[in-house]
Structure 1
Amino acid sequence: MAEIIEYKCPNCSGAISFDSSIQKMKCPYCESELEMDSLKKLDQALTELQASEDLSWEKGASDQWQQEEAEEMRVYACQSCGGQLMTDATTAATSCPYCDNPVVLKERLAGDLKPHAVIPFKLDKEAAKAALNNHLLGKRLLPKVFKDQNHIDEVKGIYVPFWLFDADVAADGKYAATMVRTWSDANYHYTETNHYSLLRSATMAYERVPVDGSSKLDDRLMQSLEPFDYKEAVDFQTAYLAGYLADRYDQSADISLEQANQRIRQSTEKRLANTVQGYGSVQRQDASIRLKNGQPTYVLYPVWLLNTSWNGRKYTFAMNGQTGKFVGDLPLDRRAYWTYFLSIALATSLLVYGLVWLVYWL
């Protein structure tokens, strides 16, 4: 049985959550504020609690879960109102759909799944909604579904699991370069081309190369939100998750290592090539890059997300919950495009016709 962790206000017993604007836990009922350090002992005590409830239930004669479906589903009881929560196998924090109290599914964060650090949200939901509105501002050819204000309220704050990799790199590169010189005299034009074979060697150290550990999210989208400032990371406490969604990783460090190495190789090749300066042309002939990775670190980064579907395709917008950087692709409503294009064409034709008519009669 899974264990639900809720943080209660010591003054009024209301459900409290993390407030990104003050970087403290805050009660929405009596306005009490609690320092994060004061919750450490409580958090440690909760990890030692043994479950005492029986959440088993009788299955019906029909419409039973298939085995693979049952393995991906979990049912929990909200301790504030008794409502039932059902999540998939990777959800670590959510809110009760009945009383909206924030809950943390402690079982999902235990053992080897416990993050080492977390960067708390610095920007709240209102900032995310404002950024989305600004992103859509002036986009006349957007489908109507993207302009509906009810979608603005679907912006969700989620802690995304990331693996951070350190690596020591030894690299060698071979390049072919040319230098062209031209001059003239009274009779001829001259061109002199010199060819060079260049060798470059370097050692580099990379720290905390991020790779998101969730298969649910587009890797390119998450890379577009970078950088996150790890200097603001703090030791992990479940209190930071209260009021937000959180996913544990479903891609292991071993799987994510391949993408981290690819990013490191690309960056190393670019930095090595940038040392070849002052030539007319440069062409890479060969490169040797040797990586030695250190122990990966499991962390949670703050992200605001909005998912919208249109014409059978899902569009995801995201905002860095620490820096406010906003990314997301926008579709084109072709019907609106052609309506707009024909109206412009018609207005232009009428204007030209009117000018011709005016010139003719004058």
Structure 2
Amino acid sequence: MPDTAPPPAPHDHRFPCDQCGANLRYDPGARQLVCAHCGHAEPIAGAGPDARHLHELDYRAALAAALPPAEMEEVRRLKCPNCGAEVELDDQTHAASCPFCATPVVTDTGRQRRIKPQAVLPFALSEREAHKAMTDWLGRLWFAPSGLTEFARRGRPMQGIYVPFWTYDARTRSRYSGVRGTIHYETRMVTRNGQRQAERVQTIRWSPVSGRLARDFDDVLVLGSTSLPRRHTDGLQPWDLAQLEPYRPDYLAGFGAEGYTVGLDQGFATARAIMDGQIRRDVMRDIGGDQQRIDRLETEVSDVTFKHILLPVWLAAYRYRGKSYRFVVNGRTGRVQGERPWSVWKIALAVLLGLILAGAVGYLVALDQGAVGMVDWH
């Protein structure tokens, strides 16, 4: 029978300073809570390598709504009508702008029952470090508008957001049949232009093969959100998942947290596609030879477990000359992704300079050829 006990009461992720009462904020550099008002600092109790005992949750139990009540939480989130992002809010916030697309919105005060995060990868880069990484990245783009780069450099601070991901573990057992191709060369006599000559000809000998393979997958990572393009978040990899900490709301102090909008089963469908791709590569290697063809491949998947984790992203959303630009920075490594901006004027100038250069080279070549012709005439 599914456990129908109510989830724990929602937690308030506000941490008042013991010295002055202002809100504490997680400091990525110091890995502690710091008060921006008076400078008081408090360590995060129970954090560090000795506390990294992460547990997986049973996938089938979650689909059957049979997870223990302690693994569920009730949250209040803002849903952006433009990009669909859902961002967790405290009870004191009633209006905000979406950090993913800068759309002004009014919050929905409704609550939702969700799977609680099991782990969090805390921010390691400060806003200043992430902002510098972004503007340096923009500065390296040859055809980016100079105005946008300067606008971003002087613009509002970036926002730190914990983005939801799923990780999946699974055991797989596969059976396959196919054919292995081995390249051979034969010498044949051919006639060309009335002459007989030897020629090496490539042939492929095919032989049937079959086999069994087993692979255990660990932490197949799937984005749990649709608010950011997957190509952007994929481009932020790799993530140092070995440094995941058991979820503590302390790490969220002063930061936003996006709720997952990709369901657990949807995420597993993506994970399964990733697994299937790896299994096919395994089978191709197992077949061996010079060429391979898979005719039949059947895979049994068992012992599926998962984690709901939060990964740190610094986010900037700018509107520049009527266009929206979004940039994301890996909050651990400083790797940057975003919409690549293009300057029409810079491109036109580059094309014009290219044409001038090509014309100049053509003119010099023509002069050189004319001079050679005159020498030959004499």
SS of structure 2 residue aligned to 1:262? helix
Name the TM-score, length of structure 2 as normaliser: 0.69
User: TM-score normalised to the size of structure 1?
Assistant: 0.71
**Which is further off, 204-213 or 314-323?**
314-323
CA distance in 2, matches of 1:262, 1:231: 24
Work out the percentage of aligned pairs sharing the same amino acid: 19
Q: In the alignment, does 2:36 pair up with 1:15?
A: no
CA RMSD in angstroms comes to 3.9
- Equivalent position of 1:157 in the other structure: 160
Residue range with higher mean Cα deviation, 300-309 or 188-197: 188-197
Aligned partner of 2:212 in structure 1 is 201
Paired letter, 1:288: E
Secondary structure of the residue aligned to 1:251 is coil
Q: Which of the numbers 170, 173, 178 marks the counterpart of 1:170?
A: 173
* Matched letter for residue 336 of structure 2: F
Give the drift of 1:36. 0.7
SS of 1:209's equivalent?
Answer: strand
Matched, 1:28 2:36: yes
Asked if the contact 2:125/2:331 (under 8 Å) is kept, the reply is yes
2:142 paired with 1:132 = no
The answer to whether the Cα contact below 8 Å between 1:121 and 1:302 also exists between their aligned partners in 2 is yes
Counterpart residue identity of residue 37, structure 1: A
Once residues 254 and 137 of structure 2 are traced to their aligned partners in structure 1, the CA distance between those partners, rounded to angstroms, is 25
Contact 2:32 2:43 in 1 (8 A): yes
1:52-201 counterparts in 2 under 5 A? 78=92, 85-87=94-96, 112-144=114-146, 146-150=148-152, 153-182=156-185, 184=187, 188-189=198-199, 191=201, 193-201=204-212
Aligned residue in 1 for 2:351: 341
1:345 CA drift (Å): 1.6
In the TM superposition, what is the alpha-carbon distance from 1:298 to its structure 2 partner?
1.4
Match of residue 290, structure 2, among 280, 283, 286:
280
AA aligned to 1:197 is: P
Q: Which amino acid aligns with 1:209?
A: V
AA aligned to 1:85 is H
Instruction: Give, in angstroms, the shift of residue 206 of structure 1.
Output: 1.0
Give distance in 2, aligned partners of 1:184 and 1:338: 57
Distance in 2 (alpha carbons) for counterparts of 1:290 and 1:313:
48
Q: Aligned letter for 1:165?
A: Y
Q: Any stretches of 5+ residues in structure 2 without a counterpart?
A: 1-8, 48-85, 100-107, 190-196
SS at match of 1:255: helix
Q: Which runs of 5+ in 1 are unaligned?
A: 40-71, 79-83, 92-104
2 CA distance for matches of 1:19 and 1:106?
29
Q: Distance in 2 between matches of 1:87 and 1:293?
A: 42
What pairs up with 1:36-55 in 2 under 5 angstroms? Answer: 36-37=44-45
Cα deviation, residue 312, structure 1: 7.8
SS in structure 1 at match of 2:310: strand
Whole-Å separation in 2 of the counterparts to 1:35 and 1:73? 26
User: How many residues are paired up?
Assistant: 310
Can you list the C-alpha shifts for 1:24-73, whole angstroms capped at 9, x where unaligned?
Answer: 1112233322111189xxxxxxxxxxxxxxxxxxxxxxxxxxxxxxxx99
Cα drift, residue 189 of structure 1 = 4.3
2:303 and 2:228 map into 1 onto residues whose CA distance is 24
Kindly state the Cα deviation for residue 158 of structure 1 after the two structures are TM-superposed. 0.6
Q: What whole-Å deviation, never above 9, does each CA across 1:134-180 have from its counterpart, x for those lacking one?
A: 32234231235532333654532110111221111112233323222
